[in-house]
Structure 1
Amino acid sequence: MADHRPELVDDALRTLGVDHTELREAHKRWQSRVHSRTFPRGEMRYLTSLGRPEYEVRRQVGDLACRALLWPVPLWPTLRFEILVAPGGAVWNEWLVRQPGDPGPRLDSPGQLPPWGCTVEEVLRAFPSAVPMVGDAPTRARVGLTDPGGGQGFVAHFTWGLFQYVAPHPS
């Protein structure tokens, strides 16, 4: 997220009471764990690291029946970290979503989307023209949409499912 919103990362680190050195060290430890041959794969990777999820719900995505496991995120009390688990334990998506029952922010215009304040699902629901696009990296998503008031095309960019910025759609 620091690629797009370094000032928000700095604010988040202050809120959490850590500095950039501690962030780098935590990232280094995490990368070492996930690339270890002995670290669990699939669903067990998250259960081992995050503990028991706060919520577990059944989801139907197209023809696939899966489970969604959700954990609280201290930095964002109304968001949850969600993994979607296919039968057999394979994880095929991981990102931030709004906690169940929370309506989230009102989204009126692509130019008014709040950085770090809305999720992919919320933008898809808020704009009838919204279309999921292929992300430009594994943890990134993009949504194409048209401004309801002016017909201009935009692309909303997300990291880990959380909105980062909007740019004009390259026509």
Structure 2
Amino acid sequence: MEFGIRQFELALMHRMRDLNPGRVEDALGDMGASWAELRAAHTTWTKMAHSSRVPKGLSMLRRLLGPPSHRGERPIGSLTCEVARWALPSWPGLEFEALAGPDRAVWNYWFVRPGGETALTFADLTPWSCVVADVAASFPGAVQCEGAAPHHWAVDFAHDGTDYRARFVYGLYQCLDKAPAD
């Protein structure tokens, strides 16, 4: 299987279906893709990630996605990390960002909004429309926390007296739940 942008998007959607299978099914229809193609893309992505013959880190992403739309550096503590971002057709207005450490190993990758977060209202929380930074900045007192599975993330916040948990996969908003009681 040749692996490029389409297959990369499908591999990302494989994990997104954990939280939002209906949205993934709609996207597959829009792409003219099948569940079998999604599973095959995920299998190929996993094999590449563990293969000794495939480049790792940013080199692998560049090979699969082409030149990034943005390259730069970001200081994190006493380290300077490399940042690369790619625009992907299924998520217009957002970019897939990879953050690599000094050894060029990718430390994190997720969706971001180029130019920084945007202000949201509660009604703006629609799947695949916003990222962690948007939600965290839009609701006073919001707290970011790890999600329940790899590449999952959450933001807890209150709105109109109710506590909520916004759930994300690869930093992309998927769904909203009432926050669990501690």
Structure-2-length-normalised TM-score? 0.82
Q: 1:62: Cα distance to partner?
A: 4.2
Maintained 8 Å contact 2:142/2:156: yes
Residue in 2 aligned with 1:81? 96
More helix per residue: 2
Residue in 2 aligned with 1:142? 154
Residue type of the alignment partner of 2:132: V
Residue in 1 aligned with 2:56? 41
Which deviations, in whole Å up to 9, do the C-alpha atoms of 1:68-120 show, x marking residues without a partner? Answer: 1001111112111100111120211101112337x65x5222x7511111100
Maintained 8 Å contact 2:94/2:112: yes
Q: CA RMSD in A?
A: 1.9
The number of residues matched between the two structures is: 166
Q: How many angstroms apart in 1 are the aligned matches of 2:77 and 2:157?
A: 22
- Please identify runs of 4+ aligned residues in structure 1 that moved more than 3 A: 61-64
Deviates more, 1:25-34 or 1:138-147: 25-34
Residue in 2 aligned with 1:133? 145
Choose which of 100, 121, 124 in structure 2 pairs with 1:108: 121
Choose which of 85, 97, 105 in structure 2 pairs with 1:90: 105
Identity over aligned pairs, percent: 39
Distance change >3 Å, CA 8–CA 95, structure 1 → 2: same
Provide structure 1 residue ranges, at least 5 long, that are not aligned to the other structure.
none
Q: How many angstroms apart in 2 are the aligned matches of 1:50 and 1:125?
A: 30
Whether 1:54 and 2:61 are equivalent positions in the alignment is no
Structure-1-length-normalised TM-score? 0.87
